[in-house]
């Protein structure tokens, strides 16, 4: 019976799962897991893909969430598995057949996959010094049937994916379209509280409340909003938004 062709797209995001041959383990210890992450980091530098999540808890399988970033996912996985098998060559053949991959087609599906992965204990209990540089919080994602790459930020504490697309207010007269307009609004807000702009921005409760209101009435990007609100990064802006949704 012919093997089913993999579903692949240029600049695709995938949930990848690889198992081992019967009677063998991929990981016998945390040292093996560390070795695997070392290889993953080496291949990330070689192929320039991105890593959004991993699960190494199962001794006989592993899971990865990867964005190929224009490289071929098959070549990436082949290189990872060959390098790990070579490092563990004293054990003989380790991997069983082909890896399984699922193309993730929407931000909502990506959120579900990451939440499920992070919720599988003890998947995320293995954390090494490599992890902080290995995982990418800025998520590059190309939805299915689209050639447009979007940038998102995943907040592991809330499970929210923040798109760098603000609500459209272009038909409103109070819509903020420039940094100068935004700065005037912030200074006015600070004055209402009898504070200087610096004092206002250093008060996190006031700052965050104004940022949430601000986002509803601007076409500025997350990066531009962060610049206005004291030089916050896109990730910090996203976290403020996601952690206060519904409040």
Identify the band that residue 158 occupies on the pLDDT scale cut at 50, 70 and 90.
Answer: low
CA angle, 9 then 67 then 232, to 5°:
130
Q: What is the DSSP string of 193-207?
A: TT--HHHHHH-HHHH
For residue 38, is pLDDT > 50?
Answer: yes
Q: How far apart are CA 195 and CA 206, in angstroms?
A: 11
Higher confidence at residue 67 or residue 10?
67
Task: Tell me the average pLDDT across 154-166.
Answer: 64
Residue pLDDT, tens place only, 68-126: 988 999 999 999 999 999 999 998 899 988 899 999 988 778 888 888 887 766 555 67
Torsion of CA 227, 236, 49, 6, to 10 degrees: -120
Task: Tell me the average pLDDT across 178-194.
Answer: 94
Q: In a 10 Å sphere around its CB, with 0-12 CB exposed, 13-18 middle and 19+ buried, how is residue 137 labelled?
A: middle
The answer to whether the predicted template modeling score (pTM) of the entire model surpasses 0.85 is no
Q: What pairing do the DSSP bridges indicate for beta strands 138-141 and 150-155?
A: antiparallel
Q: Which residues of 146-156 are buried (b: 16+ CB within 10 A; e: fewer)?
A: eeeeebbbbbe
Strand ranges (E), 38-173? 50-55, 61-67, 100-104, 138-141, 150-155, 160-163
Q: Cis link prior to 190 (omega < 30° from 0)?
A: no
Q: How far apart are CA 70 and CA 64, in angstroms?
A: 17
Q: How far apart are CA 179 and CA 32, in angstroms?
A: 50
């Amino acid at each position: 019976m012919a093997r089913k062709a993999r579903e692949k797209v240029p600049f695709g995001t995938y949930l990848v799962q690889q198992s081992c041959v019967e009677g063998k383990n991929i990981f016998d210890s945390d040292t093996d897991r560390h070795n695997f992450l070392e290889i993953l980091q080496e291949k990330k530098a070689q192929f320039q893909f991105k890593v959004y999540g991993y699960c190494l808890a199962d001794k006989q399988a592993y899971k990865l969430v990867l964005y190929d970033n224009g490289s071929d996912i098959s070549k990436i996985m082949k290189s990872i598995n060959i390098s790990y098998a070579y490092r563990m060559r004293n054990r003989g053949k380790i991997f069983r057949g082909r890896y399984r991959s699922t193309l993730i087609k929407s931000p909502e599906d990506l959120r579900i996959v990451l939440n499920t992965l992070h919720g599988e204990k003890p998947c995320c209990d293995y954390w090494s010094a490599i992890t902080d540089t290995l995982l990418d919080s800025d998520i590059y994602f190309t939805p299915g049937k689209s050639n447009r790459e979007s940038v998102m930020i995943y907040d592991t504490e809330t499970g929210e994916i923040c798109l760098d697309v603000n609500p459209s207010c272009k038909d409103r007269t109070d819509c903020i379209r420039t940094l100068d307009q935004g700065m005037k609004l912030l200074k006015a807000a600070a004055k209402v509280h009898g504070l200087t702009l610096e004092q206002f921005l250093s008060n996190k409760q006031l700052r965050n409340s104004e940022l949430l209101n601000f986002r509803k009435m601007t076409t500025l990007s997350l990066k531009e909003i962060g610049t206005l609100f004291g030089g916050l990064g896109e990730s910090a802006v996203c976290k403020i938004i996601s952690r206060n949704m519904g409040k």
